[in-house]
Amino acid sequence: MTDVISKDEQSSAGYATSRLNAVKHGILSKELILPHESRGEYDELLRGLQAEYQPQGITEGILVEELASIVWRKRRVLSAERAKINCGLDRALTQERSLANSALPFSLHLDGIGGIPIDRGYSIREIVGLSEEDFKKKVKAFAISLSCLYEARDILSKGGEHAAEKAVECFDERCLALWYEYDRDGESKEAVSDFLEGELRTSLEEEEKIINNAARIRQQALGDSVAYGNLDSLSRYETHLNRTFERTLGMLLKLKEMRQRSPVASVTSTRVADVTPVDAD
């Protein structure tokens, strides 16, 4: 009989340990984590919440894991939101000139160069995607190109032998790319002057408009992308997750409070049925 009881106790202890391990390692994570998601990142999140709330018992452990699953889903919502915005940006940026002009409809008007799309070193798509540091580099590069225009003008105005060739020699990479894009009738003074006052000046003026209004163009692009993306369903789902998180956390804190207030029953308490009656005599 003793052996049987011992085996039963071992079996119960083993089952309890198995259940505790399930909570410790995440009994919901098998269904929660998608194939492309990181199990390691989820486990790290779960361990962090377990360390913060120190769950005792199965119920508290499950509630903590539920909190982890909600936070994980909220991260997924943010990823989905980013994907929708990127998709909307891609659609908005298919009409770069229209997007830029919409940002400041009463003051900004980009015409391009002779009907040529805006893509000569000052793509709206590129401007929208630049980091702050890269944008500063873009502004610096623009300033160099503008100084090349002024320097070339000055060389031509002074004249002299090989003035046109010297003017072209002072071009930076961006100006040279624009100069060699079309077949020129040699490097005559007239050809260089026409280029400076025509294509190059117009190009730089357009780029200056974009640089000076980059912040508003970015805002317009984001606004258009949200309109294309239709984020209402994601917003509703995120609200649902927030409310679920609040309820779950409330239950966990309430349970911990009740446990702290309740006296802990002794594990070695004796059952009445096991007590042998004592003879009054």
* Element containing residue 268 per DSSP (H, E): none
Contact criterion met (CB below 8 Å) for 217 and 210: yes
Alpha carbons 172 and 264: distance in angstroms, whole number: 81
pLDDT of residue 98: 81
The residue ranking higher by pLDDT, 119 or 141, is 141
pLDDT of residue 122: 54
Place of tokens 């990127």: 86
Whole-number percent of the chain with pLDDT over 90: 41
CB burial readout 251-276, b (16+ within 10 A) else e:
ebeebbeeeeeeeeeeeeeeeeeeee
In sign, the C-alpha dihedral spanning 95, 97, 99, 101 is negative
Report residue 99 as tokens: 């997007």
Instruction: Please name the residues in contact with 64: beta carbons below 8 A apart, sequence gap of 6 or more.
Output: 46, 49, 50, 53, 55, 252
CA distances from 224 to 94, 118, 127, 187 (A): 12, 19, 16, 45
Whole-number percent of the chain with pLDDT over 70: 75
Report residue 102 as tokens: 């919409």
pLDDT of residue 192: 93
The residue ranking higher by pLDDT, 151 or 218, is 151
DSSP string, 77-123: HHHHHHHHHHHHHHHHGGGHHHHHHHHSTTT-----BTTB-S-SS--
Residue 141 has pLDDT above 90, yes or no: yes
pLDDT digits (tens, 9 = 90+) for 67-81: 999 999 999 999 999
Contact criterion met (CB below 8 Å) for 252 and 67: yes
pLDDT digits (tens, 9 = 90+) for 97-135: 788 888 877 766 666 543 334 444 457 888 888 889 999
pLDDT digits (tens, 9 = 90+) for 164-216: 999 999 999 989 989 988 766 667 889 999 999 999 998 898 888 888 888 98
pLDDT digits (tens, 9 = 90+) for 171-180: 999 899 899 8
Rg of the chain over all Cα atoms, to the nearest angstrom: 36
Place of tokens 């974009």: 210
Average pLDDT along the chain: 80
Phi, psi of 116 (to 5 degrees): -75, 135
Residue 244 has pLDDT above 70, yes or no: yes
Longest dimension (CA), the chain: 138
pLDDT of residue 111: 60
DSSP string, 179-218: HTTS--S-S-HHHHHHHIIIIIHHHHHHHHHHHHTHHHHH
